[in-house]
Homo-oligomer: A and B are copies of this chain.
């Protein structure tokens, strides 16, 4: 007997019929002798419906009130799933984030989990109940409802799994695992049976969109084995068969020994780049620029500063495209004069493409092969950034699909 956490996405919870299927699957796991905690998302479309209502009322809703509104979607989900389990004679109980309690900071619409009190949950599990907890939300020290931002249900599920010391966290979604790249872009894309935590971190942060980046960070911090699975399979399929499907995010590097150097091609279409031109090359400049951006709660991705010339340097970074205008206005208001910059330029029509793989560490030549492939397709590289297990380039967004297809082929990812 093990303690297992299940997470179900909005599509899996999309209708009463689908919720009943989720209940069947959960009950199957419980009947096999496991303790099960479930973290479901809001029914698909519900969060958008709620945000649509808010938008009809005001273009600039207060983040606290937005959290109050959006949190209702998951609350309805947990109640419905609990009813569906009880209807098939599986004892169950639902809790909101504040009832558990899932404590977060006060950064409304993008809060971070600080602690989870597991007393109620353990008591109910020991009493033979399935426990259902709202994803995506918590409560701050002042009793305000917070949400973790889009995709936050994944993070909640992994955080709950970690807090409870679960054996595994199963993330059921509408895809059946992690692929070498997006199958909608490259039809030869192949499902990976395992990826390492670090690869997944790069894949998720680079826009593979299967798991929210913070859920992968959580999984890594707590070494929580996390499996991505499809919820579209027969809910009553045998357990062993179900476990063999999907992709396991593993913490055992040696399982990768036999595998290819490159695990996958990640990409993110909606990027924007901004360059603060000709800033004095002195200590504190990077902080002065990015501190103001971070204070505005804008997430920065790539950061590049090249060798200075004549005591001046150009400081470049990327942000999600939706934050481009806001970032530019923060820089104009607070940073430009402060850092005595020549000017600030940007481009909101760029995409990022990355090759990812732990095998890269011990192989030379990955970078040169990547650059040669892009060159052969006539694609200009605007920025380059590297880590131990990935190389990312920023390119004109119109070449993104072409670049992904060419790289997938060049690294032979269609063959296991």
Question: Which of B57, B64, B69, B94 meets A68, CB within 8 Å?
Answer: B94
A residues touching B (Cβ–Cβ < 8 Å)?
Answer: 16-17, 19-20, 50, 53-54, 56-58, 60-62, 64-66, 68-69, 71-73, 75-76, 78-80, 82-84, 86-87, 93-94, 96, 98-99, 143-145
A130 to B: closest C-beta gap in Å: 12
A363 to B: closest C-beta gap in Å: 52
- The docked-state distance in angstroms from the alpha carbon of A56 to that of B75 is 17
Q: Which residues of B contact A78 (CB under 8 A)?
A: 68
A58-B83, A68-B75 known; 14 other A-B pairs, CB under 8 Å?
A16-B53, A16-B56, A16-B57, A19-B57, A57-B80, A57-B84, A61-B86, A65-B80, A65-B86, A65-B94, A66-B83, A68-B78, A68-B94, A96-B145
Question: Which of B58, B66, B72, B86 meets A72, CB within 8 Å?
Answer: B72
Do B68 and A50 have beta carbons less than 8 Å apart? no
Given contacts A57-B87, A87-B57, contact A71 B75 (CB under 8 A): yes
Nearest chain-B residue to A55 (Cβ)?
Answer: B16
Question: Which of B61, B80, B99, B143 meets A83, CB within 8 Å?
Answer: B61
Nearest chain-B residue to A64 (Cβ)?
Answer: B93
What does DSSP make chain A's interface, helix, strand, loop or mixed? helix
Do B76 and A53 have beta carbons less than 8 Å apart? yes
Q: Which residues of B contact A79 (CB under 8 A)?
A: 54, 65-66, 68-69
A196 to B: closest C-beta gap in Å: 39
Do B75 and A58 have beta carbons less than 8 Å apart? no
A102 to B: closest C-beta gap in Å: 13
Q: Which residues of B contact A72 (CB under 8 A)?
A: 72-73, 75-76
Do B82 and A65 have beta carbons less than 8 Å apart? yes
- The docked-state distance in angstroms from the alpha carbon of A71 to that of B19 is 20
- The docked-state distance in angstroms from the alpha carbon of A84 to that of B60 is 10
Do A83 and B57 have beta carbons less than 8 Å apart? yes
- The docked-state distance in angstroms from the alpha carbon of A374 to that of B62 is 59
Nearest chain-B residue to A58 (Cβ)?
Answer: B87
Given contacts A16-B53, A65-B94, contact A58 B76 (CB under 8 A): no
Do B69 and A54 have beta carbons less than 8 Å apart? no
Interface centre among A20, A58, A60, A83 (most CB of B within 10 A): A83
Q: Which residues of B contact A58 (CB under 8 A)?
A: 83-84, 86-87
A131 to B: closest C-beta gap in Å: 13
- The docked-state distance in angstroms from the alpha carbon of A96 to that of B71 is 12
Do A76 and B50 have beta carbons less than 8 Å apart? yes
- The docked-state distance in angstroms from the alpha carbon of A65 to that of B84 is 10
A-B contact pairs, 10 of them (CB 8 A): A20-B57, A53-B76, A57-B84, A58-B86, A65-B80, A68-B82, A69-B83, A71-B75, A72-B73, A99-B143
Do A62 and B75 have beta carbons less than 8 Å apart? no
A377 to B: closest C-beta gap in Å: 48
- The docked-state distance in angstroms from the alpha carbon of A150 to that of B352 is 53
- The docked-state distance in angstroms from the alpha carbon of A17 to that of B87 is 39
Q: Which residues of B contact A96 (CB under 8 A)?
A: 68, 145
- The docked-state distance in angstroms from the alpha carbon of A61 to that of B54 is 30
Q: Which residues of B contact A69 (CB under 8 A)?
A: 75-76, 79-80, 83
- The docked-state distance in angstroms from the alpha carbon of A326 to that of B72 is 33
- The docked-state distance in angstroms from the alpha carbon of A79 to that of B109 is 14
- The docked-state distance in angstroms from the alpha carbon of A58 to that of B84 is 7
- The docked-state distance in angstroms from the alpha carbon of A73 to that of B49 is 13
Q: Which residues of B contact A65 (CB under 8 A)?
A: 79-80, 82-83, 86, 94
Nearest chain-B residue to A16 (Cβ)?
Answer: B56
Q: Which residues of B contact A73 (CB under 8 A)?
A: 72
Q: Which residues of B contact A94 (CB under 8 A)?
A: 65, 68
